[in-house]
Every structure is written in C-alpha cells, then in structure tokens.
Chains A and B, each alone.
Chain A
C-alpha cells in the first residue's frame, strides 16, 4: 500500500516499455542493440587484427568462440558443408549471448531479447535462411517436395503432409522466437520481483525486515541461475538454427 508509490512493487509489463529518449524510435532497447553491435565489431576487429601464433587473451577468446561454433555447432549439425555457415553462427551466438548478458549486468539490467520484437527478427532471419538454402540447393519444387513428403505409403500422406507443414514451416519460427523471449522476460521478472520485493520488505514492519535479507539472497542466487540460462539460450538458438539449415541441406536417405 504505502510501498506502492516508490519502488513500483509488483513489477508490471511497463518495465519493458521504457520511455523514448530521442524521438519515438530511440529507447533503451535501441541503444543497447547499437551498443552490442558496436562492442562485437570492435571486439572481433581487435582480436583478429594482428593474429599471433601464441594468442593474446582477446584473440584466444575470439578464437574459442569461433572454434566452438565451427566444430561443435556447424560441423556437428550440418557436416562438412557446415564450415560455410560458421561465421554466421558465431555472429548469431555472440549477439544473443551479449544482448542476453545485458540482462544481468548491473546498471543495464535489461536484455533486449526480453522484448519480443528482437527474438522475432532473429527467428525470421533463421527461417528465411534455412528455406532459402534448401531452395537454392534443390530448387523450389524439389525442396518443398523433400520437406513435405515423408517416406510413407501414399494413403497416409494426406494425414502426414499437414503435420509436416505445421511443424516445419509454422512451429519453427514461433518456438525459436518465443523460447528466447520467454526465458529472458521471465528471468528479468524474477530478478525484479526479488530485488524490489527486498526493498518493499525493508520498508515494512520490523517483523518482516529480516525477510528482506532472504529476498536479496534469492536475487543473488537467481542471478547465477540467470547466467546459466543466458548461455544456454544463446546455445540453443544457434544449435536449432544449424539443425534447420542441416535439415534443409540433408540428402534424402
């Protein structure tokens, strides 16, 4: 009641609609995306500017991120053709990881991916990409024939083709964007509830004040959990994108 004025206690969706800073299109989210793009460009330029046999720490970091995406994502999910996509997967992974990390960096504490628009754009890129790659390799008709016609007797095909269409061309982009968005949204909400809840408890009667310590401890513990979720979600997004690309390229067996 009295707490309702200052720390807006139950955090609401308004959290995710920060005021415009300059004109209607420049908000905290816009600036964070620009910041992420800038940091990544500068990081990879600096890391690869003068490559050495014995890498510096920065070069080592950049090479391990690239090596991970090339070997454990592109090569493993797509096969020997995968190296062509390693650069894109590295970019995608770095971008999602960094923008997710903004969610727990003190002072920023807002991931751009907790706004549905950004995961939607990333998912659309993956969606267009795997269809385009399949169409380019097999041709329009042959690709959709391969994607929609499962190896099954003709009399069950009317049953199976709608399922194939639904799970390949409708569910994929939706789940790809929703999974990332919901994880980052929920993570931000949970951290906000425990942190703001701690302040609200501090302002209440002396009986409840010690509970605030518990609330802050939970906020810290959940930040570590959130860190895990951040890495996991970036990984899952890239691994699923590569799996879709691999599926579009795969020969029928």
Chain B
C-alpha cells in the first residue's frame, strides 16, 4: 500500500523500484483483458446474433484474466 513504507533494506538499493511502472502495467493488464475478450465476445455476438450476452461474458472473463495476470506477474 502507498501509506506504509517498510524500512529500506540495503539489498533493495539499485533494484527496480516498484511504483509507477507497476501501476501502469496493472492498469494495462486489466483494461487489456476486458478489451481483448470483450472484443472476442462482440465478434461472437455479431456471428451468432446473441445480442450482447457474449460481449458481457467476454468482458468479465477478460477482467478475470487481467486480475490473474496482475497477481502472477506483479504480485510477489
């Protein structure tokens, strides 16, 4: 979290700093997930004429994938 700053360990010197780049990466994974799978769902909607249901499912699944990616790539 932003508020609690843990005391700096000497071995952290020179390591890539968490912060701005991680935040950008997290946002791009989340929005990327929703857009990619939402778009795939939209294509399915157009193809099968399902009226938006596939888009909704795609967006939710994509968001879940984005969260999973954030957890796996950035959360450690």
Contacts and interface: CB of A to CB of B under 8 A. Distances in A.
A63 interface: no
B21 A243 contact: yes
A159 interface: yes
B72 A250 contact: no
Interface residues of B, number: 26
Contacts of B40: 162
A151 B75 CA distance: 12
A150 B73 contact: yes
Contacts of A172: 28
Given A75-B14, A150-B72, A150-B73, A163 B21 contact: no
A239 B15 contact: no
A243 B32 CA distance: 18
A77 interface: yes
B42 interface: no
Contacts of B41: none
B65 A160 contact: yes
Contacts of A243: 16, 20-21, 24-25
Given A151-B72, A152-B72, A163-B65, A246 B16 contact: yes
B69 interface: yes
Nearest to A76: B17
Contacts of A151: 72-73
B52 to A, nearest CB: 21
B41 to A, nearest CB: 12
Interface in B27-74: 28-29, 31-33, 35-37, 40, 61-62, 65-66, 68-69, 72-73
A139 interface: no
B14 A239 contact: no
B76 interface: yes
Contacts of B14: 75-76, 79-80
B34 to A, nearest CB: 9
Contacts of A240: 21, 24
12 contacts: A76-B16, A77-B21, A79-B15, A150-B69, A159-B37, A160-B65, A164-B69, A167-B31, A171-B32, A175-B28, A240-B21, A243-B20
Given A77-B17, A78-B16, A160-B69, 14 more contacts: A150-B72, A151-B72, A152-B68, A152-B72, A160-B68, A163-B29, A163-B69, A166-B32, A167-B31, A236-B20, A239-B21, A243-B20, A243-B24, A246-B21
Interface of B: 14-17, 20-21, 24-25, 28-29, 31-33, 35-37, 40, 61-62, 65-66, 68-69, 72-73, 76
Q: Lowest 7 A-B CB distances belong to which pairs?
A: A243-B21, A167-B32, A167-B28, A159-B65, A166-B32, A163-B33, A166-B36
